[in-house]
């Protein structure tokens, strides 16, 4: 039982690692909007599997659902930042990106509160609690089709300048947006001369050694600062 409990908890992180590792390939291949839409479907399926696990009397369904949730979260974390940043006007881009951290923290708080025994953490209602992660995914699945694809993706990866201009007008309104298009073109030209490093190449590259040490230390010490106990 201890092994199964540990596996149920940790399998979310395993799915997250796999999802985040494949997010770049998926976004380049299919685009950010399509990936987000498919990711929402994956999360809804995962929520349904976990929600029906008690009726089916199957702990294996919880394991599968948790893994799929982790996979979906791993794809979503980098993808959400990119999409929100790219569809936001330059003057509010920093603010728009910062909202992600706020809503992740808010979501964790709501999850902790909802998990109390007096609310959804009871013996009868815990399947509802586990399935609740599908609700935000359903909201995004219904609303995201009304948003265009990311303008930088359309211009840089698809070469669709007209589609890029149309997306910019839909997002930012009518007006002169040539400066933003020029910025995207400059970024595209810069990327042609920049090699994209794999994870292994990043670890081996001496120029990034201290930055890598800093990220590892910060990420490790977060787990020791008491936040999990709180």
User: What ranges do the domains of the chain cover?
Assistant: 1-147, 195-229
Residue 195 burial (CB count, 10 A): 7
For 103-161, the pLDDT digits (tens) are 888 888 898 899 999 999 888 899 999 999 999 999 999 999 998 888 888 877 777 77
Find the mean pLDDT for residues 91-96: 84
pTM above 0.85, yes or no: no
State how far the Cα of 179 lies from the Cα of 60, in Å rounded to an integer.
53
User: So what's the architecture of 1-147 in CATH?
Assistant: Up-down Bundle (1.20)
- Read off the pLDDT band of 228 (50, 70, 90): low
Pick the closest to residue 49 from 71, 17, 76, 21 (CA basis). Answer: 71
Mean pLDDT across 193-208? 79
pLDDT of residue 11: 93
Cα angle 205, 190, 202 (rounded to 5 degrees) comes to 15
Q: Which tokens belong to 24?
A: 């770049």
Q: Which of 51, 54, 43, 38 is nearest to 16 (CA)?
A: 43
């Amino acid at each position: 039982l201890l092994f199964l409990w540990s596996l149920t908890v940790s399998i979310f992180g395993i799915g997250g690692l796999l999802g985040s590792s494949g997010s770049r390939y998926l976004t380049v291949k299919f685009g950010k909007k399509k990936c987000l839409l498919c990711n929402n479907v994956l999360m809804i399926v995962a929520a349904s599997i976990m929600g029906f696990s008690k009726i089916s009397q199957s702990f294996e369904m919880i394991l599968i659902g948790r893994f799929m949730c982790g996979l979906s979260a791993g794809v979503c974390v980098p993808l959400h930042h990119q999409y929100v940043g790219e569809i936001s006007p330059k003057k509010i881009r920093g603010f728009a990106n910062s909202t992600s951290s706020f809503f992740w923290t808010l979501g964790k708080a709501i999850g902790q509160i909802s998990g109390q025994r007096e609310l959804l953490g009871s013996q009868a209602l815990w399947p509802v609690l586990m399935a609740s992660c599908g609700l935000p995914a359903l909201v995004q699945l219904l609303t995201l089709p009304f948003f265009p694809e990311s303008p930088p993706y359309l211009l840089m990866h698809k070469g669709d300048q007209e589609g890029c201009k149309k997306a910019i007008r839909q997002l930012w309104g009518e007006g002169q947006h040539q400066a933003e298009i020029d910025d995207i073109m400059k970024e595209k030209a810069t990327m042609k001369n920049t090699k994209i490093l794999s994870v292994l190449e990043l670890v081996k590259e001496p120029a990034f050694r201290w930055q890598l040490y800093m990220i590892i230390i910060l990420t490790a010490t977060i787990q020791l600062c008491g936040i999990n106990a709180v």
